[in-house]
Structure 1
Amino acid sequence: MRLWSLHPSQLDRAALVACWREALLAQAVLAGRTRGYQRHPQLERFRAQPDPLAAVGAYLTGVGEKADARGYRFDRSRILSPARPAARIAVTDGQLAREWEHLGAKLAVRSPADAERWRRSEPRPHPLFRVVPGEVASWERAGTIAD
Structure 2
Amino acid sequence: MRLWSLHPAHLDRQGLIACWREALLAQKVLAGLTTGYRSHPQLIRFRAADGPLAAIGAYLSGLAEEADARGYRFDRTKIHDGSGHAQLPVTTGQLDFEAKHLAAKLALRSPADADRLADARPRTHPLFRLGPGPIEGWERP
TM-score greater than 0.5 by the shorter chain: yes
Where does the alignment leave 5 or more consecutive residues of structure 1 unmatched? Answer: 143-147
- Distance in 2 (CA, whole Å) between partners of 1:118 and 1:17 is 18
Q: Which residue of the partner structure matches residue 133 of structure 1?
A: 132
Q: Which residue of the partner structure matches residue 120 of structure 1?
A: 119
Q: Which residue of the partner structure matches residue 80 of structure 2?
A: 80
Q: Does 1:24 align with 2:24?
A: yes
Report the secondary structure of 2:82's partner residue: coil
Deviation at 1:84, TM superposition (A): 3.0
Percent of aligned pairs with the same amino acid: 64
* AA of the residue aligned to 1:101: K
Q: Which residue of the partner structure matches residue 91 of structure 1?
A: 90
Contact kept in structure 1, 2:56 and 2:80, CA below 8 Å: no
Contact kept in structure 2, 1:42 and 1:139, CA below 8 Å: yes
Return the TM-score normalized by structure 1.
0.94
Deviation at 1:82, TM superposition (A): 3.3
CA RMSD of aligned residues (A): 0.8
Contact kept in structure 1, 2:46 and 2:52, CA below 8 Å: yes
- Distance in 1 (CA, whole Å) between partners of 2:134 and 2:60 is 25
Q: Does 1:110 align with 2:93?
A: no
* AA of the residue aligned to 1:29: V
Flag as ranges the 4+ runs of structure 1 deviating above 4 A: none
- Distance in 2 (CA, whole Å) between partners of 1:80 and 1:59 is 10
Q: Which residue of the partner structure matches residue 38 of structure 1?
A: 38
- Distance in 2 (CA, whole Å) between partners of 1:75 and 1:50 is 25
Deviation at 1:42, TM superposition (A): 0.3
Contact kept in structure 2, 1:6 and 1:126, CA below 8 Å: yes
Deviation at 1:51, TM superposition (A): 0.5
Contact kept in structure 2, 1:24 and 1:60, CA below 8 Å: yes
